[in-house]
Structure 1
Amino acid sequence: MKDKAILRYNANERTNHWLVAILFFMAALSGLALFHPSLFWLSQLFGGGPWTRILHPFMGVLMFVFFLGLVIRFWRANFFIANDRLWLKRINRVMRNEEEGVPPIGKYNPGQKLLFWTLLACMLVLLLSGVVIWRVYFSQYFGITAIRLAMLLHALAAFVLVMSIIVHIYAGIWIKGSVSAMLHGWVSRAWAKKHHALWYREVTRDERPDNQISKKG
């Protein structure tokens, strides 16, 4: 079966992704426990309040480190190309699952690319602001104004990150085959050709212009 399929993610890439996902949920839950008293019950998942405060920043740093692994692997594939702008203009067709008239795209569509750079920006803000408010090691080097600003930026970046991940999960479920690709690594040729035609041509050396933009588009 695999001789008719295309490898989209190898074992190392899938492991890296799932480690980031696990650390994200742990950091998010522990962060919510510390964010508001009504959510403090979540701290019981980590052994209580003191352990939650200890573990949260370390989980955040580990998440950033593993996410850098994804950045190193995939940053080139997330640069925007001319077809991406046309794809965004015809997003209504994509939402209706109508591929005719939609320009072919590479390994990632423009929505995935926007998500990638948004996640990277949020991760950087969370790391830098987290260092400022990390009381045990670093906060004594910063004034109260800097700490308050860092806390605000940390909360805002966390909110954007959580919302982005929710969109990421929804899109992965909505586009059939996406979740399976990150679980098993393989996608069908039909799936690749339909959703990522330029990438399909690159990996299969198929130069037939089946998915070029319709003249009527």
Structure 2
Amino acid sequence: MNKVDKPRLIQRYTASQRINHWIIAITFVLLAVSGLALFHPAFYWFSHLLGGGVWTRILHPFIGILMFVCFAVFAARMFSHNLMNRDDVEWVKHIGDVLNNHEEKVPQAGRYNGGQKLLFFALIVLMLGLLLTGVVMWRSYFSYLFPIWGIRLASLLHALFAFLIICAIIVHIYAGIWVKGSVRAMTRGTVTPGWAWKHHRNWWRQLRGTTSHNK
């Protein structure tokens, strides 16, 4: 009895890209819980995850630098794929159809859709904001260079940027779970042709054309 051939999987992310992504994810969680511990006494118990209040204050900025460097590498590798075009603008205009699962009314997307590209650039802005304000607040090394009002302003902006990036990551996680098959892309690195055709049809066509050309 002949076995039915499974559709050939499409590589979406390399092993190094996935490792980079998960380092960013782990450091983000550590920063979120340690940041909350430093932000308000009600969340101080989170500090025990990093060895207590003193260690949390010491490690938080260093973990932040690690996350920023890893994100910068990831963003540099993905930058060209996230430049907005006319189709992406139309995709964003059809966000209502996306949320109502009427994908047949939504413009076809490339490797990333308009929403993913907007999130990508929002993360870049927020990451830069967190880095710059964090440096101003880093008492052990840099805060003595700035006036007290500058440190207080940086603290306020740092909290705002942190809140916004947490919201953005929640949207990112929800979208990854909502679109069935997306989590597989960042765990195994591959997607099915059906997934690519349904959600990123222009990307699928591009890969198909490239493959055909190479043949």
TM-score range, shorter chain: over 0.9
Structure 1 match to 2:159: 155
Structure 2 match to 1:193: 197
Give ranges in structure 2 of 5+ residues lacking alignment.
Answer: 211-215
Structure 2 match to 1:11: 15
Cα separation, 1, equivalents of 2:6 and 2:123: 32
| Structure 1 range deviating more: 17-26 or 103-112 | 103-112
Cα separation, 2, equivalents of 1:30 and 1:101: 43
Give ranges in structure 1 of 5+ residues lacking alignment.
Answer: 207-217
1:59-79: CA deviation from partner (whole Å, max 9, x where unpaired): 001000000111111011111
**TM-score of the pair, normalised by structure 2:** 0.93
1:174 corresponds to 2:178: yes
C-alpha contact 1:94 1:102 (8 A) present in aligned 2? yes
C-alpha contact 1:16 1:66 (8 A) present in aligned 2? yes
Aligned pairs for 1:87-98 (under 5 A) are 87-98=91-102
Structure 2 match to 1:210: none
Shift of 1:92: 2.3
C-alpha contact 1:5 1:188 (8 A) present in aligned 2? yes
| Structure 1 range deviating more: 188-197 or 2-11 | 2-11
1:29-70: CA deviation from partner (whole Å, max 9, x where unpaired): 101000001111111111111000000000001000000111
Shift of 1:99: 2.6
Cα separation, 2, equivalents of 1:96 and 1:40: 40
Structure 1 match to 2:82: 78
1:87-112: CA deviation from partner (whole Å, max 9, x where unpaired): 12222222232232321111111111
The residue identity in structure 1 corresponding to 2:205 is: R
1:53 corresponds to 2:57: yes
Q: How many corresponding residue pairs?
A: 207
1:173-215: CA deviation from partner (whole Å, max 9, x where unpaired): 0000111110001101111011011111111118xxxxxxxxx
Structure 2 match to 1:141: 145
Cα separation, 2, equivalents of 1:34 and 1:100: 47
Cα separation, 2, equivalents of 1:126 and 1:101: 37
1:123 corresponds to 2:127: yes
The residue identity in structure 1 corresponding to 2:38 is: L
Shift of 1:116: 0.6
C-alpha contact 2:7 2:193 (8 A) present in aligned 1? no
Runs of 4+ in 1 over 6 A off after TM superposition: none
Cα separation, 2, equivalents of 1:125 and 1:102: 33
